[in-house]
Amino acid sequence: MSLNKNNSEYNKIAKFFHWGFVILFIYGVAKQVDDINQLEDKVFFRFEIIFALIFLFLLIVRFIYMKTTQKTSLPHNAPKLQKISAKIVHNGMYVLLASTVLSGLCIGFLFWIDFKDGLLINFFINIHELIINLLYFFIGIHIIAATYHRLKKDGVWSSMVPILKEKKNK
């Protein structure tokens, strides 16, 4: 299959946001709080709050930038269900990333005001874990879809991924 001429190429800022968030997310997962009692360490607690607020701010900036300056790289002739699914997954990842941060901040706030155990903080911990698991699911779908487009060679992969570029037809 050849590349569809209707595909857009994401610009360098969009690619920087995309891959920058991949790195930030991996870092966030690698340094995640394994035990709520880690929040007793004031330096660690402060770092977690600052990291979360910066992440949320950058996520909002990215969302606004992508929605106002970029368009989908799906071919115009892509099935309607594929276009709807792509919107659900992309918007869902934004919602889930923001929800992860906000639920984590709620946990941090409750811990800070000395609700360190009990029904309320456990509720937010369970919500936080559910959101993260849904986020992993959406990321998995996103990666599978990107791989599908790479195999299909419709230009979607090459619009964002800097490796294994598809060859353009002349």
What are the tens digits of pLDDT across the range 126-169?
Answer: 999 999 999 999 999 999 999 999 888 888 888 888 777 766 54
For the chain, what is the domain count?
1
Q: In this structure, which amino acid lies at residue 90? A: H
Question: In this structure, is residue 4 part of a structural domain?
Answer: no
Written as six digits, the tokens of 100 are 């992860």
Give Cβ neighbours of residue 61 (< 8 Å, ≥ 6 apart): none
* Cβ atoms of 159 and 146 closer than 8 Å: no
> Is 123 buried (19+), middle (13-18) or exposed (0-12) by CB count in 10 A?
middle
Write out pLDDT tens, residues 83-121: 999 999 999 999 999 999 999 999 999 999 999 999 999
Angle (nearest 5°) at CA 97 between 92 and 103: 115
The parent domain of residue 111 ranges over 12-160
Question: In this structure, is residue 6 part of a structural domain?
Answer: no
Question: In this structure, is residue 91 part of a structural domain?
Answer: yes
Question: In this structure, is residue 5 part of a structural domain?
Answer: no
Question: CA-to-CA distance for 60 and 94, rounded, in angstroms?
Answer: 9
How confident is residue 8, by pLDDT bands cut at 50, 70 and 90?
low
What is the model's pTM? 0.86
Question: In this structure, is residue 87 part of a structural domain?
Answer: yes
Question: In this structure, is residue 66 part of a structural domain?
Answer: yes
